[in-house]
Chains A and B, each alone.
Chain A
Amino acid sequence: MRSYFFVLLSILCFSLSQSYAQTTAPILGTIKGIVRDTVHNYVLKAATVSIYKADNTVINYSLSNNYGEFKFVNLPIEQPLRLDISNVGYKTVSKTITIPKGQTLLDLKTIVISPQDVNLKEVTITIPPITYNNDTLEINAVAFKLDTNATVEDLLKKVPNITVWGDGIITVNGKEVKSLLVNGKQFFGGDNKITLQNIPKNALEKIQIFNTANRDNPLDSNLVANLKLKKGKDRSYFGKISSGYGTDNHYQFDGNLNFSTPKLQLSIIGASNDVNKIPDDINTLMRNSTYKGMGTSVEYQSDFSQAGVNQGNVAGAQMAYNFKPDSKDWDNRSSLTADYYFKSLESTNTGDVQTITTIANNNQLFSFNNNSSFNTSDRHRFNSIYNYYKKKHRIDLSQSFNLENGNNSSNNIRSAQNNEQQLTSTNNGISQGNFNNKNFRLNARYNYQNYNNWKQRFKSLNASYNVFLTDNNNDRTEITAFKDLLNNANNRNFNRRYQTNNKNVTQNMSLAVPNLASIFFGNKHLNGFNAEINGGLTLANNKDRNFIEDFTAGQYQKNTYLSNNLQTNQADFTPGFTLSKSFNKRLSNRYYKSLGISVTAAQQFIDQNNQSDRSFQNIKKSYSNFVPSIGFNGFNQQEGNYQEDFAVTYRTTVRVPNINQLAPLTDSTNLYNLQRGNINLKEELARSIDFNFSHYDMKNKNTLNFSFRSSAGIIDNDIVDSTFIDQQNRRNVYLTNASGSKYANFSGNVRKSLKLKSSELQLSWYGSINFSKTPTYTNSLFNFSNNIYANNKISSQFIHKDKLAVEAAQGIGTSFSEQTAFGSTYRNIILTTSVSSNYNFTKNIALGSNIDFNNNNPSVGQTINFTIWNANATYRFTKGNNSEVKFTALDLLRQNQSIFNFAGVNSFTTSTRNVLQQYFMVTLSYYPRKFGSNTVKK
């Protein structure tokens, strides 16, 4: 497997070194000079110097340095070139030059540039490709000659020293652009790709790139890029209409239209397909159904890992309304964003699951489940966010409303074998049901801050109110037949009908008054000490109304045990007091370091009151726990070099058992899993330490960024399973408190960008490892299970000009569990090697291919290898390249499989499911785009 990766990598390296060898063959020359204003007697710093070919295409540009000097290397020799020097307030100097044969350096010495006479109307010969205006680098779109259909992304690819990466990140000289704005505002959800690939280059006046890092640290970098549209181009629409048809009657339809005015942005979208392109949220769909440049990134493809055969229809709308479109101040904003998303899905699933469970030393139980199901669901989701910021006041309101209804039917054929692989029982079932779920969430937050008026003692206040309402209805019928093959007397048959309704109202309020020091002691410094008083109150009301019937004597009759009305009221109040101290140390132009320590003392009071038709469920419980927390956070800024921050938090959290853990009504339809309770359960008390660290490179070039996160904890009185399993795989799952439960997690990522001569390379690593020690009881036998789950991925992305992009990645995922009391271990290793590449032959024709090698290596069962290879060819035509025909070949090797192997606490599961496999499709798309209102034809 790994050898594949290295072979591919070496082929790639070889082909690249070849292309370098070709480009460096001709002898290249250098031009240098000094720009001087002789009227004012000074050199011009940051004047724009541009070099053009004879056909007016930009070869390179630069800004003169502090000494007025400029220098260009790698220029062609013996070719006429044009050198333009321009600066705001000056007449542009234009010179035609040629580096003579036999020379490698042409020194133009001092070039005189004269101030523009302000009274004369400026006659612009050519607009320079870039200008430097009061700390802002401006890229002037007009200076770059591109096709009429070019997008902003195409433009950026033509600008030397700017790279657009496959993941949408933009770097300027290796420095990452932190936010991309259009006329100073976010554009359709702020996704870089939507912005770059939809705005035509011709609608753009210029791109402004500026640094928002603290001015005290002139070498630090925090770049913002703003796309300034031409006047009148801020009214636009763009979209897509597309349809595709393929082998096995696969189909795909897409439609999307986006409107934008200075105040309003509105999108309408719809899609229908049977090729697993049914995302869960509107943003992913939006990102993938708008216009794309002939990119070097991997295309939006069918999700081959999705189980089942799925047919889906999605539709949605998204809007953003800005009440103050002209305000540029962060403390004077008001906007509303809302989206509606509808998803309807029909899926047919079949699968086999095999689970090995350790029940004692050298004693395992094997269970098999062959299932098939058919599900349909319709989901409506409506979200909105309203922000209102005015000076000292900030109000944030967000709400979400979900409505989902659906039907499902499933068929399960289950059986169990004992340690001797003898069939001991079968437990087959048919289930059919429908559901109707509604929920509504509202979050409201108010923040008051007044740090400008130092005379006022009351500095800040935070308040929040959240409410969550649910109303779920479920009707279903379960028919099961359990056969004990060792003892017929145990055979059980069920035919049970459920009508359940759950209603829940949870309200949460919190109030905090930070900065008590200022209230009581005014502006006294108090050596960095401060205090905060805070409180949180959660009130929850939960109502369950269940009506259950059993089919007996030829008709359905009420099951008086399971039919029940249950109401739970729970109040959770946590008052707290926080004492904090901050330390900081500055050495001007060297570093700034700060450390904050905060200690919170809080007491959590929980009252739970359960009222039920079943008297044993009428339980009242009260809990009171001391829940302290301690936090450290640090910041280290080394000027012109890097910035680091870290935080360590120790906290105690309490989880109280609910009624279904204390005294459930046990439903015995599935004898393979009977949930029992334990009235004596105590609350869980978890003590944890979280640590995170991030390093943010502030250098100008070849940045290295990394961050790590880890947490560890001990859970006292952990509520764990105590399972009784018999030879027939009948399981009674009781709950009990156990000590000794521990966990530790670590995750991190490292990203390095490298700028090469005419290409860029990005290397990254992502990894996570989770360890847990989980106590369980199996047939009264106590066992600690040590579990390790790890995922690691290294990847490299290489971009060569706007022609070629290659991404190679190697991933390794492991899951491991060890049952200390039983001496058994389970393990699974997944290796994934992927290589994807895109090559643009011309502006209109592109080829792309990606291949994933998968290797599944479980400790039980066979090693499975499979490869998914996809390829596509795209051709764009018509004026504006607005039409596209695309041929895609997916899963060319017809090897796709859905394998899911997993080492659980004391079990190992292997499963296979039906999946989408090979298909070929032809897609026709049209992308209407218009920026600006119609111009009157003369």
Chain B
Amino acid sequence: MRRLKHGACLMAFFCLSNIPTFAQEGKIDSSNVVTLRIDPQTARGAAVSQIFDEVKFVPLETTKESLFGQISQFKVVNNSYLIYDYDTKALLIFATDGKFLTKIDGSKLKSDKNDKEKAQFYGFTTEKENNENYIIIFTPNNVQYFSFSGKFVKKKSNKDYKYSNEGKFEDGTTVKQNFYLKKGVDSTFYQLALVRKKTLDTVAYFKNDKKKFSNDDSYSHPMFYKANGDFGFYIGSHSYDIFKVTSQKVSLAFKLIFPALNSLPSDFITNPIYIKKRMEYFDKNKKVFIGIGAPYLLGDNLYLKMSTIYWDKDQKRNVIYNLKTSETISFQDLEPDSLSSFLPITDSGFGYDFENRGFLAFEDGKFYTSYSALAMFTFKERSAGKTIAYPPLLTNYFKTNDRKSNPVLIILKPKQN
């Protein structure tokens, strides 16, 4: 709850920073929509080596200083892994070989005399300023800049900081979420807006009621996902429609249709009978997909993650859909083979972190996920006798670490098709 609140504060803060020069409402192009019928339960399995070219396990070094709980936020920047851990309220920096470099400890943040609240942070972003990369954290009092060696550089007041990192296309167009379009004294709320650098105009999409969040409850928030390449995807609240966003336009790309058992009623958002009764509906329809998580499109493969309120081990929710062959492969049914030293590539079957959150990141053509040392050692026991020799990094890991060590990163390079 606390995390949510902070998220909401940050969001509100970003919204306030929108000062458009010329703005209008944009039209959504639905001419090239592709309808996909997907039944995740009929998805097939495959060997890990059939889907991925490379599987790399990177144990994150465990020292007294670097011990952390779980990866809450993850980013690959400057040849290092940035990890925010909610348990220890710290941002940890690891080298790409898993060696611990430094950390920004939430409990040791500098506070000023006139600070209203204790300095704490719950996430981070990175930014390039004058060709220098910075790690930026938001405290209730100010915005603090750190170097990649973990050194405090400077701080700005919250008002002076302009958030501009939210989806930037190559031509300089920025994608803004939760946008207020002003007309005289009135302002209209939009979920998304494209702010073009060249033409200095702003086009807003997906008009919404600004009081929607206080009058209703929602369990799937509208979200823009920057994809690989010069486009991104937008998915609305409790919706199975995937919109493609480029610097020029927003178009409905995919309309997903799921089996009736997994589908929300078509009027779930519009019909007032569901207002503040959404949880009751999910209680009665536990198998229903409440929304879709971050999609990835690699060649013809569309990586999809469906969300449910209740965890159901047997419901397949992470799939790869091939747009050409319409073949669906389920992550749950990927069979570990020698490429992954017979270790599973996600925590499915042990925990449900991957099932719920999907990948931590996709960078440079590689997916990132992680699981705990407890899972790692359990998987090793379960696969006893299969792998004759682990890669040196893992051999050493099993020798020198235990079930209480730091989580392990799993880096997956998908095959090109």
Q: Please list the residues of chain A having a beta carbon within 8 angstroms of any beta carbon in chain B.
A: 37, 40-43, 45, 65-67, 134-135, 215, 218-219, 454, 523, 525, 586-591, 639-640
Question: Does the CB pair A45–B407 fall under 8 Å?
Answer: no
Question: Does the CB pair A45–B44 fall under 8 Å?
Answer: no
User: Closest A-chain residue to B342, C-beta based?
Assistant: A67
B14 at the interface (CB under 8 A from A): no
Question: Does the CB pair A43–B403 fall under 8 Å?
Answer: no
Min C-beta distance of B370 to chain A, whole Å: 11
B134 at the interface (CB under 8 A from A): no
User: Closest B-chain residue to A641, C-beta based?
Assistant: B403
Tell me, in angstroms, the Cα distance from A37 to B350 when the chains sit together: 22
Q: Which residues of B contact A588 (CB under 8 A)?
A: 69-70, 87, 372
Q: A42-B45, A587-B67, A587-B69 known; A454 and B333 CB under 8 Å?
A: no
Tell me, in angstroms, the Cα distance from A591 to B403 when the chains sit together: 11
Tell me, in angstroms, the Cα distance from A590 to B67 when the chains sit together: 11
**Which one of B91-99, B164-172, B308-316 contacts A?**
B308-316
Q: A523-B1, A590-B404 known; A640 and B374 CB under 8 Å?
A: yes
Q: A586-B69, A589-B407, A640-B403 known; A42 and B335 CB under 8 Å?
A: yes
Tell me, in angstroms, the Cα distance from A45 to B382 when the chains sit together: 12
Contact residue among A67, A134, A218, A591 (Cβ-Cβ distance under 8 Å from B314)? A134
Q: Which residues of B contact A45 (CB under 8 A)?
A: 349
Q: Flag B321-357 by CB within 8 Å of A: 1 or 0 each.
A: 0000000000001011000001010000111100000
Q: Which residues of B contact A219 (CB under 8 A)?
A: 374, 378
Question: Does the CB pair A66–B349 fall under 8 Å?
Answer: yes
Q: Which residues of B contact A523 (CB under 8 A)?
A: 1, 5
Tell me, in angstroms, the Cα distance from A588 to B406 when the chains sit together: 10
B2 at the interface (CB under 8 A from A): yes
Contact residue among A40, A67, A215 (Cβ-Cβ distance under 8 Å from B42)? A40
Question: Does the CB pair A40–B378 fall under 8 Å?
Answer: no
Contact residue among B2, B43, B312, B374 (Cβ-Cβ distance under 8 Å from A134)? B312
Restricting to B10-56, which residues have a CB under 8 Å from any CB of A? 42-46
Q: A67-B386, A639-B374 known; A587 and B46 CB under 8 Å?
A: no
Q: Which residues of B contact A41 (CB under 8 A)?
A: 44-46, 333
Q: Which residues of B contact A66 (CB under 8 A)?
A: 344, 349, 382-383
Q: Which residues of A contact B46 (CB under 8 A)?
A: 41-42
Tell me, in angstroms, the Cα distance from A523 to B407 when the chains sit together: 32
Tell me, in angstroms, the Cα distance from A37 to B351 when the chains sit together: 24
Tell me, in angstroms, the Cα distance from A42 to B348 when the chains sit together: 15
B104 at the interface (CB under 8 A from A): no
User: Closest A-chain residue to B72, C-beta based?
Assistant: A588
Known: A40-B45, A588-B69. 9 other contacts (CB 8 A): A43-B335, A219-B378, A523-B5, A587-B68, A589-B70, A589-B372, A589-B407, A590-B372, A640-B374
Min C-beta distance of A715 to chain B, whole Å: 46
B137 at the interface (CB under 8 A from A): no
Closest 10 CB pairs of A and B: A42-B45, A589-B372, A588-B70, A588-B69, A42-B333, A587-B69, A40-B44, A41-B45, A589-B374, A41-B44
Q: Which residues of B contact A37 (CB under 8 A)?
A: 45
Tell me, in angstroms, the Cα distance from A639 to B352 when the chains sit together: 15
B175 at the interface (CB under 8 A from A): no
Question: Does the CB pair B1–A590 fall under 8 Å?
Answer: no
Q: A586-B87, A639-B374 known; A135 and B313 CB under 8 Å?
A: yes
Tell me, in angstroms, the Cα distance from A135 to B45 when the chains sit together: 21
Q: Flag B289-318 by CB within 8 Å of A: 1 or 0 each.
A: 000000000000000000000011110000
29 residue pairs bridging A and B, Cβ less than 8 Å apart = A40-B45, A41-B44, A41-B333, A42-B45, A43-B45, A43-B335, A66-B344, A67-B336, A67-B342, A67-B386, A135-B313, A218-B350, A219-B374, A219-B378, A454-B1, A523-B5, A586-B69, A586-B87, A587-B67, A587-B68, A587-B69, A587-B87, A587-B88, A588-B87, A589-B69, A589-B351, A589-B373, A590-B404, A640-B374
Min C-beta distance of A20 to chain B, whole Å: 27
Question: Does the CB pair A40–B70 fall under 8 Å?
Answer: no
Q: Which residues of B contact A639 (CB under 8 A)?
A: 374
Min C-beta distance of A139 to chain B, whole Å: 19
Min C-beta distance of A693 to chain B, whole Å: 23
Min C-beta distance of B185 to chain A, whole Å: 30
Tell me, in angstroms, the Cα distance from A586 to B89 when the chains sit together: 11
B375 at the interface (CB under 8 A from A): yes
User: Closest B-chain residue to A40, C-beta based?
Assistant: B44
Min C-beta distance of B86 to chain A, whole Å: 8
Q: Please list the residues of chain B having a beta carbon within 8 angstroms of any beta carbon in chain A.
A: 1-2, 5, 42-46, 67-70, 87-88, 311-314, 333, 335-336, 342, 344, 349-352, 372-375, 378, 382-383, 386, 403-404, 407
Tell me, in angstroms, the Cα distance from A43 to B46 when the chains sit together: 9
Q: A43-B335, A66-B344 known; A590 and B374 CB under 8 Å?
A: yes
User: Closest A-chain residue to B383, C-beta based?
Assistant: A67
Tell me, in angstroms, the Cα distance from A40 to B382 when the chains sit together: 23
Q: Which residues of B contact A67 (CB under 8 A)?
A: 335-336, 342, 382-383, 386
Tell me, in angstroms, the Cα distance from A43 to B404 when the chains sit together: 31
Q: Which residues of B contact A525 (CB under 8 A)?
A: 2
Tell me, in angstroms, the Cα distance from A66 to B386 when the chains sit together: 12
Question: Does the CB pair B69–A40 fall under 8 Å?
Answer: no
Most buried by B among A65, A135, A587, A588: A588
Min C-beta distance of A226 to chain B, whole Å: 18
Question: Does the CB pair A65–B374 fall under 8 Å?
Answer: no
Contact residue among B44, B312, B344 (Cβ-Cβ distance under 8 Å from A42)? B44
Tell me, in angstroms, the Cα distance from A812 to B363 when the chains sit together: 70
Contact residue among B2, B69, B311, B382 (Cβ-Cβ distance under 8 Å from A65)? B382
Q: Which residues of A contact B372 (CB under 8 A)?
A: 588-590
Tell me, in angstroms, the Cα distance from A183 to B342 when the chains sit together: 41
Tell me, in angstroms, the Cα distance from A37 to B403 when the chains sit together: 33
Contact residue among B70, B351, B386 (Cβ-Cβ distance under 8 Å from A218)? B351
Q: Which residues of A contact B383 (CB under 8 A)?
A: 66-67
Min C-beta distance of B375 to chain A, whole Å: 7
Question: Does the CB pair A40–B43 fall under 8 Å?
Answer: yes
User: Closest B-chain residue to A455, C-beta based?
Assistant: B214
Tell me, in angstroms, the Cα distance from A37 to B42 when the chains sit together: 12
Min C-beta distance of A388 to chain B, whole Å: 21
Min C-beta distance of B131 to chain A, whole Å: 37
Contact residue among B349, B352, B373, B382 (Cβ-Cβ distance under 8 Å from A215)? B352
User: Closest A-chain residue to B1, C-beta based?
Assistant: A454
Tell me, in angstroms, the Cα distance from A523 to B3 when the chains sit together: 13
Tell me, in angstroms, the Cα distance from A589 to B44 when the chains sit together: 30
Min C-beta distance of A638 to chain B, whole Å: 9
User: Closest B-chain residue to A135, C-beta based?
Assistant: B313
Q: Which residues of B contact A590 (CB under 8 A)?
A: 69, 372, 374, 404
Tell me, in angstroms, the Cα distance from A639 to B378 when the chains sit together: 12
Q: Which residues of A contact B335 (CB under 8 A)?
A: 42-43, 67
Tell me, in angstroms, the Cα distance from A304 to B375 when the chains sit together: 55
User: Closest B-chain residue to A115, C-beta based?
Assistant: B42
Min C-beta distance of B243 to chain A, whole Å: 31
Q: Which residues of B contact A40 (CB under 8 A)?
A: 42-45, 333
Most buried by B among A42, A525, A640: A42
Min C-beta distance of B327 to chain A, whole Å: 10
Tell me, in angstroms, the Cα distance from A134 to B312 when the chains sit together: 7
Tell me, in angstroms, the Cα distance from A67 to B379 when the chains sit together: 11
Min C-beta distance of B66 to chain A, whole Å: 12
Q: Which residues of A contact B69 (CB under 8 A)?
A: 586-590
Tell me, in angstroms, the Cα distance from A589 to B407 when the chains sit together: 9
Min C-beta distance of B120 to chain A, whole Å: 10
Q: Which residues of B contact A586 (CB under 8 A)?
A: 69, 87
User: Closest A-chain residue to B283, C-beta based?
Assistant: A329
Q: Which residues of A contact B373 (CB under 8 A)?
A: 589
Contact residue among A42, A215, A587, A640 (Cβ-Cβ distance under 8 Å from B311)? A215
Tell me, in angstroms, the Cα distance from A45 to B45 when the chains sit together: 12
Min C-beta distance of B78 to chain A, whole Å: 26
Min C-beta distance of B373 to chain A, whole Å: 7
Q: Which residues of A contact B45 (CB under 8 A)?
A: 37, 40-43
Min C-beta distance of B353 to chain A, whole Å: 9
